[in-house]
Structure 1
Amino acid sequence: MTADDLELFRGIRAEALRTHPQTFGSPEEDEGGEGMLAAYRRWLAGTVLGAFECGGLMGVAGFYVSPDRRSLHRGHIFTVYVREDGRGQGFGDRLVKELLAHAEARVEQVHLAVLVEATAAIRTYKRNGFEIYGTDLGAVRIGDATYDRYLMVRKLSH
C-alpha cells in the first residue's frame, strides 16, 4: 500500500481500533486528527501490505526494520488485522508470508507482539515459523482491564 491508499488504510484501522482496542492503538491515534494522519502517512511510506478481495481491503500488515543501528538485523511485524468477514480464509497467512519474504533480504530475525488471548493470530504466526520467547506481563491497560502479550520471533535463514 502507498500514501494514495490513506483512506482505505484509515477505514480498516478505525475498524481494528473499534473492535479490538486492546490490540491496536498508538499515541498518534489517541491524539487523533492531523497527528494520526501523519503517522498513517509515515507507515504507508514504509512497508504496509494490503489483502484485497473483489476490490475491497480485507486485511493489512506492516513491517519495519529497527531504527537503532545496533539492531538493524531485527525486523518487526506490526498492525496485522484481517476483517471479521475475511477471517479463516488465509488472508493473515498470505500477509505474513509476504512480509517474511520481504524481510528475508533485509534482516536476520523478525519480531512481533501479540495478545495472549489472540489464539487464532498465535496459530497463524506459529504456522509461519514464529516461536514465543517471552511474555510481556501487563503490557496493555484499558480501564481496569490489563492484557499480557507474547513476544514472538522467527529467525530467517541467511
Structure 2
Amino acid sequence: MSDEKPSLSSDVMLRRLRADDAANFKAIRLEALQASPELLGSTFEFDNELDVTWFAGRLEESHVLGAFRAGVLAGTAGFSVQHGPKNAHKGRVWGMYVQSRARRLGIGRLLVSALLDVARARLEIVQLTVVTTNQPARRLYDSLGFVEFGMEPKASKLGDHYYDEAHMMLDFGRKPDAF
C-alpha cells in the first residue's frame, strides 16, 4: 500500500498516520487503554502523561495505519521492523485497536492485511503477541495465516491480575502447515 494512495473499502479509508495525526493517535490510544487495559502493553496513566510530540515521533519511526470512517479515526495498527542485523528480517505488529462501535465491520482485517502487504515487500517474518483471552483477535490472526509458536504466562499484570500472551508469527516463506 502506497502512502499516497489511501485504501478504500466500503465506507472505510486506510492511510498511514504521520506526525500531524499525533493528537488523534494519542486520543484513540488512550481510549483503547481505558476500554481494554489488559490488551495493550501500556497503561492509560503512563500514556496520558506522554506529550503529543512523543506520539508524533512514534508515528514517524513506525508504519502505523489508521482506519477512518466518515473522516474519524476508528482504528489503528502499527508495524515496525526489528533492530539489528540479526533481526532485520522480522517485523512486529503492535497497537491493534478498533473502536467498539466500528467492530464487526472488517476494519481489523483491513488494517492487518494492509500492514502485511507492506511487510511482505520488506521482510520474511511478522510477529505479534495477543492476550490469550482475546478470542476475536486470535481468530483474526489465525485466519490471516499466523501460527502460535509459544505462550508467555503472566506476560503482563494489571492490578492483581495476570494475563498470558500467545506469541504468533507469519512466515512469508513457509506454508502454515510446515510448523
- Fold match by TM threshold 0.5: yes
- What whole-Å deviation, never above 9, does each CA across 1:125-146 have from its counterpart, x for those lacking one? 1111101111011001011100
Task: Name 2:72's counterpart in structure 1.
Answer: 56
- What whole-Å deviation, never above 9, does each CA across 1:47-103 have from its counterpart, x for those lacking one? 100011111111000000001221001100000000001111000000000000000
CA contact (8 A) 2:75 2:97 kept: yes
Deviation of residue 25 (structure 1)? 3.7
CA contact (8 A) 2:37 2:44 kept: no
CA distance in 1, matches of 2:137, 2:74: 15
| Aligned residue runs from structure 1 range 90-101, under 5 A | 90-101=106-117
Task: Name 1:42's counterpart in structure 2.
Answer: 57
Task: Name 2:23's counterpart in structure 1.
Answer: 7
- Mind listing any 5+ residue stretches in structure 1 that lack a counterpart? none
SS in 1 for 2:86: helix
**TM-score, reference length from structure 1:** 0.92
Identity %: 36
CA distance in 1, matches of 2:58, 2:45: 13
Task: Name 1:116's counterpart in structure 2.
Answer: 132
CA contact (8 A) 2:154 2:162 kept: yes
Task: Name 2:105's counterpart in structure 1.
Answer: 89
- Which one has a larger percent helix, Structure 1 or Structure 2? 1
What letter matches 2:58 in structure 1?
A: W
- What whole-Å deviation, never above 9, does each CA across 1:1-28 have from its counterpart, x for those lacking one? 0011011111110100111111124389
Task: Name 2:143's counterpart in structure 1.
Answer: 127
CA distance in 2, matches of 1:113, 1:86: 22
Task: Name 1:24's counterpart in structure 2.
Answer: 40
CA contact (8 A) 2:30 2:44 kept: no
What letter matches 1:117 in structure 2?
A: T
- State the Cα RMSD in Å: 1.8
Q: Does 2:69 align with 1:69?
A: no
